[in-house]
Amino acid sequence: MARTIATLALALGLIATSAQAGTLILFQPPPLARGMPALPRITGALTPADARINAALSKVDASWTAFIKSCHDQAGADADVERSNQLAMSGPGYFAVTIGYSYDCGGAHPDGGSIALVYDLATGRPVNWAQLLPKSLVDAVSTDTAGDGTTIGLIASKQLQKLYAREALAHADADTRKDCADTLTQDGLTFQVWPDAKAGGLMLQPDLPHVVMACGDPQLISVPTLRKLGVAAPLLSAIETAHAETPR
């Protein structure tokens, strides 16, 4: 059964979730550091795609382990690195996990950000949003790097940006709307995108500079809205199935 699982729950052992074929069993490896859980891994009878996803997740964790060491080498006892993980979807069709992080390695100011990792369970490869979404919703694709050096995929989309800004500003207080309106409506914003089983849609989060990062909370684009925008049925069906099977 597909579920959004908190990191603490994952730490308790093996958890079975429905995936594209049969049962996806997740396992929580040892933490990277005190208070910093590793990303979950797929275990059981692994398919080649499962193994490819595990290798990608291990690469991200290894990058963070190296980053933690580098941060402590630079700042010593004053170093501070925090990371949290959230399983957003574990089938059918897609595996998605998000990472939120912050760090202070002795520079001019602390920094932080987020990472969305989304994999196709049929191939084990990162999803290509330019192929999954209609051309009308993807103006360009690009990549950026997170604080640890992990590559994140981004899309530019005028149509999705309008939807994002509308949602974000509608749920903001008056001061936030005043402070963030220009940021969220400027030309050329790029977004991380991931399916969220519990929320029941696609989440969007803009890639913003640290100084205005508070304007960039994730916002949900619901399945009915995505359907009106022409998003293909297989992706929407996968999200709807996962949403129906996720405890809320």
Sequence-separated (6 or more) residues with CB below 8 Å from residue 167: 219, 220, 221
Give the residue-averaged pLDDT of 14-24.
54
In the structure, what pLDDT confidence band is assigned to residue 24 with cuts at 50, 70 and 90? confident
In a domain, 149, yes or no: yes
Specify if 168 maps to a domain: yes
pLDDT in tens, 154-201: 999 999 999 999 999 998 999 999 999 999 999 999 999 999 999 999
pLDDT at 23: 61
CATH number of the domain at 129, please: 3.30.565.40
In a domain, 67, yes or no: yes
pTM of the model: 0.90
- Please check whether residue 1 lies inside any domain of the structure: no
Domain count, the chain: 1
Contact 181, 169 (CB under 8 A): yes
Strand order in the sheet with 190-196: 140-145, 151-156, 190-196, 201-206, 219-222
Instruction: Look up the domain containing 143 and give its range.
Output: 7-244
Residue 70 inside a domain? The answer is yes
